Chains A and B, each alone.
Chain A
Amino acid sequence: EDKVVQSPLSLVVHEGDTVTLNCSYEVTNFRSLLWYKQEKKAPTFLFMLTSSGIEKKSGRLSSILDKKELFSILNITATQTGDSAVYLCAVEGVNRNDYKLSFGAGTTVTVRA
């Protein structure tokens, strides 16, 4: 069974701090790793990573994948209160032509003013 473990479970930081979120995984026939931000109910897509060592950036967020060690990190620099959310890591595995997404439990980030 595919497995996705995120750490830490939660953290509290002050505005301007940098946070690093971790995601380790075990999956059959890895295709991609995805990061989502979940503020209320609907997760919104942040990044999709398929290749090791290539950093993806979007504003103050960045992410990188290590397919040898089976983990990814998500960095948020200069945090703002609007970054407060649950950050979900998901891994996509392929079985024949079917793609299946397995989620971690998420990291709850609270940014205090």
Chain B
Amino acid sequence: EAGVAQSPRYKIIEKRQSVAFWCNPISGHATLYWYQQILGQGPKLLIQFQNNGVVDDSQLPKDRFSAERLKGVDSTLKIQPAKLEDSAVYLCASSLAGTSDGNTFGSGTRLTVV
């Protein structure tokens, strides 16, 4: 079974620039999550999708972050404009039916904002 694919692996941008991350979940997984993990902290949920609908985006800074999951498969997370404090690893995870025991994480994208 192929895992959760994310790209790019690394990204360095200047503050106020825009950046986008891509995630391809495990085939058949209806639920997709984006997490932000700042150095020294645990992952923090940004947004959760069930198919192509948003289940929870309460911790997504909507003034600069946006995410979509067209056709209920791949997802993109965008930051526009980026701030220094957005430097983090962005993890994508997917699961079959919204329960966490089947969560599989991707390798993440490490974003550095300078």
List residues of A whose CB falls within 8 A of some B CB: 4, 31-32, 34, 40-45, 48, 88, 90, 92, 97-106
Q: Known contacts being A43-B105, A45-B103, A98-B55, is A105 close to B41, with CB within 8 Å?
A: yes
User: Counting CB contacts under 8 A, is B83 at the interface?
Assistant: no
Does more than half of chain A's interface fall in helix, strand or loop, or is it mixed?
strand
User: Counting CB contacts under 8 A, is B61 at the interface?
Assistant: no
A32 to B98, CA, bound (A): 13
CB distance from A65 to the nearest CB of B (A): 14
A99 touches B110 (CB 8 A): no
Quick one: which of B55, B91, B103 has the most chain A CB within 10 A?
B103
**Which residues of chain B come closer than 8 Å to A99, judged between CB atoms?**
98-100
List residues of B whose CB falls within 8 A of some A CB: 33, 40-45, 48, 55-56, 89, 91, 98-101, 103-108, 110
Q: Known contacts being A34-B100, A99-B100, A100-B56, is A42 close to B43, with CB within 8 Å?
A: no
A32 touches B100 (CB 8 A): yes
A88 touches B42 (CB 8 A): yes
Could you show 11 A-B contacts with beta carbons less than 8 Å apart? A4-B42, A41-B89, A48-B100, A90-B100, A92-B99, A98-B48, A99-B100, A101-B33, A101-B100, A105-B42, A106-B42
Contact of B91 among A31, A42, A100 (CB under 8 A): A42
Of all chain B residues, the one with the shortest Cβ separation from A93 is B100
A106 to B42, CA, bound (A): 6
Q: Known contacts being A41-B108, A42-B91, A42-B107, is A103 close to B44, with CB within 8 Å?
A: yes
Of all chain A residues, the one with the shortest Cβ separation from B106 is A42
A103 to B106, CA, bound (A): 16
Of all chain B residues, the one with the shortest Cβ separation from A98 is B55
